Amino acid sequence: MKTIKSIFSVLVLTLSFTILTSCDVEPLDNAIDVNNGGGSGTVVTSFTAKVNGADFVASSESIIGDYSPSSFGNELVISGSTSTGKNISITVINPAVATFPASFNVNNLTLLQYLDSSLGTNGGFTSYNQTTDVSTGTVTITHFDTVNNKVSGTFSFTAYNSTDTSTRSITNGVFNNISFDNSVN
C-alpha cells in the first residue's frame, strides 16, 4: 500500500509540475474586485491562498480543472500556478457541495498538494504525512455545477514534504468560478 501511495504522489506531483512549466503566465489585475464579479456582470475566476503567511495568487491562464472518471470514482482536479513557480493542486473523489477532510484513503480520496519549483526535487508537499500516515486539511465545495462546468470553494491544509521534515501552512484558500473539462457525463 505504501508503494501505491508513493507512486500516486509522484504521479500527481509530476502532473502538477508539467502543468506549471507548460503554461504562459500573466499577472492578475489587482484592480478587479472579485467580491462583486469584477464589476462587469461576470464572475471572475480566481485561485488564491496564503502559504506560510505569504500571498499565493494563481495566474488566470494557469488555473485549470478536470472532472473525469477514475478507478476510485469520479475525480475532480483543480490546480493553480503562480508566475514564480508555485502550484497548488486539489483532488477530490466524488465531489459535491460539501466539506471534505483531507484523506489518502482511496475510498474517499481528498488530496491537497503544494509545489515550489524553486526547491527542485525537494519542492513537493502533500496533505498526506507519510511518517504519521495522517492527512491534515479540508476542502469545502460551495458551488459544483456539472452543466456549466464551474466549481467554487475554500481550502486549507498542512503540506508535508516527503523527502525531509519541512512543512508549509496553506490557509485562506479560495477557488472561485473555476472552469473544468467534464468527461463524466
- Stretch 153-161: mean pLDDT: 97
- The yes-or-no verdict on residue 4 having pLDDT over 90 is no
- Stretch 82-92: mean pLDDT: 97
- Stretch 89-96: mean pLDDT: 97
Q: Which of 6, 13, 4, 2 is nearest to 122 (CA)?
A: 13
> For residue 113, what pLDDT is reported?
98
> Mean of the per-residue pLDDT values for the chain?
84
H or E element, residue 19: helix 2-22
Read off the pLDDT of residues 5-45 as tens digits, 9 standing for 90 and up: 443 443 444 444 333 434 444 444 444 444 444 444 567 99
Contact 79, 64 (CB under 8 A): yes
**Confidence tier at 112 by pLDDT (50, 70, 90):** very high
Domain residue ranges in the chain: 2-24+46-182
Contact 160, 167 (CB under 8 A): yes
Say which residue, 40 or 72, is predicted with more confidence: 72
> For residue 41, what pLDDT is reported?
54
What 3-state class would DSSP assign to 157? strand
Say which residue, 111 or 9, is predicted with more confidence: 111
